[in-house]
Chains A and B, each alone.
Chain A
């Protein structure tokens, strides 16, 4: 592959991974109105679960991913149970806390995660099925696979958003006490969507670890959760296309900065500065983002 194609394939792969994260978080923040800043924790759980299970237990990528999704879902369930006690400012601060704890676990549980060294040589997926032999060491093929999963998750999210369940989520977001009077126990709905969202984020994590063939704690810092949040607010809350747009801008932005001539390390910081400034400006001038259907 020549360099330009390789580069574009890389950007599209990163876009797809972030789009999965954005769509998953939008279900919680945009549709249910719960401002969660801990999505990177589930992203990380997915990445580590896949990396560890594929490497140590020798499972295939897809079964490892499935286990990662289940683990993230279970942890999401526990965190969701704690979070059900909180709202607004307190909700945010508790999610921030969870992200910091998750990072601490990735960093400090050496026997499992190898701490800052991370886990290397995470395998890529392989399909050997009914005479079909696909080796996803090829980046183009890998991209196709991520895109398929992005599509699956996007349509699942859209299905949720259009279902009666999704309408109840919106009503919870608007007035939780009022919707309860009409017979809905908001607790279970909030818990369910939080678990689903955690599972989706884990899928993104599986792909990330497998794509880079490596995973380390530094990807799953609090700032990553903030970036995912900024991305969906920029694209627009409660609009799934908005999350795709947000992911697209997020991935393209540091590349543009490199083109403008910032050195690599500064480009990464500049991206965060720009995102911080965008977040502030959006809050002041357009809290609903580019195509949002809900404003905080």
Chain B
């Protein structure tokens, strides 16, 4: 049997999930200029909240997903208000912000571990069989189709949103120069807070998608983030298209590497790819 179609399909699905993290990481990075190390864990948090409503309380699946997205967005926003905003006001260095976000990551991951244990939890309904479709000999589940559609919609919305709304222009102004943005009258703290909300919400879509696709695990957040950052860097930090291209390059290379190296090493392959890009093409495929 030819496994190439299945590998292509798997890469596209994994790539879409990574893309949620990459674009949202980009959005927050653009506004704040620091690597938010808690970002992946916030994505996973969104997944767990959806899990809680959907699986533990038995609520409607779509409602639970929306609640998960909102909860993650809100959490991101709260972290900005109580941690990063005070740090910005103190003119803290990027490294201080980063270390603070490592603290957030540590606490949040452990908190999730206490409430949901470190076992894998899946969002997909085992009792109801996912419908399967076959394309060129590759199988895809209905959930995976939803993930693809979602990724597509998010990409389009984000591109339109960043290009045509005041918010998008303000984010761009802040990422070019925060001081200048302030001078021309942009309420930078409000915009940054909003980008934390939106960014964390988009990341949570990725977290929920993982929950349906492979299942959730508290320590998965950092790996997701690492992939997201890798994708953002490979594609070119600051670009929505770039984040998507980067995500797909990453997942295609990692998935197709099984022809040469066994599957457990996908993680390492993805990381080596990142290093190669950082050294030889640090500004990514799409230069901003």
Task: Determine whether A and B are in direct contact in the complex, meaning some CB atoms lie less than 8 angstroms apart.
Answer: yes
Whether A226 touches B114, Cβ cut-off 8 Å, given contacts A88-B94, A272-B107, A276-B107, is no
Q: Give the contact stretch, choosing among A92-100, A142-150, A208-216.
A: A92-100
Q: Are B87 and A283 in contact (CB under 8 A)?
A: yes
Whole-angstrom distance between the alpha carbons of A229 and B37 in the complex?
14
CB distance from B95 to the nearest CB of A (A): 4
| A112 in contact (CB, < 8 A) | no
Whole-angstrom distance between the alpha carbons of A20 and B229 in the complex?
32
Of A98, A104, A278, which one neighbours B265 at CB under 8 angstroms? A104
Of A85, A276, A284, which one neighbours B108 at CB under 8 angstroms? A276
| A74 in contact (CB, < 8 A) | no
| A280 in contact (CB, < 8 A) | yes
Q: Are A296 and B93 in contact (CB under 8 A)?
A: yes
Whether A283 touches B278, Cβ cut-off 8 Å, given contacts A104-B268, A272-B109, is no
Whole-angstrom distance between the alpha carbons of A98 and B268 in the complex?
9
Whether A284 touches B110, Cβ cut-off 8 Å, given contacts A96-B226, A104-B265, A104-B268, is no
Residues of B within 8 A of A188 (CB): none
| A275 in contact (CB, < 8 A) | yes
| A90 in contact (CB, < 8 A) | yes
A residues engaging B (CB < 8 A)? 35, 37, 82, 85-86, 88-90, 92-94, 96-98, 100-101, 104-105, 107-108, 221-223, 226-227, 229-230, 233, 266, 269-270, 272-273, 275-280, 283-284, 287, 295-296
Known: A296-B95, A296-B99. 17 other contacts (CB 8 A): A35-B99, A89-B35, A93-B226, A97-B275, A100-B223, A269-B111, A276-B103, A276-B104, A276-B106, A276-B108, A276-B110, A279-B99, A279-B100, A279-B106, A284-B100, A287-B96, A296-B93
B residues engaging A (CB < 8 A)? 34-35, 37, 83, 86-87, 90, 92-100, 102-111, 113-114, 219, 222-223, 226, 229, 264-265, 267-268, 271, 274-275, 278-279
Please list 6 pairs of residues, one from A and one from B, whose beta carbons are closer than 8 Å in the complex, sorted by A's number.
A107-B264, A266-B114, A272-B106, A273-B107, A275-B103, A280-B104
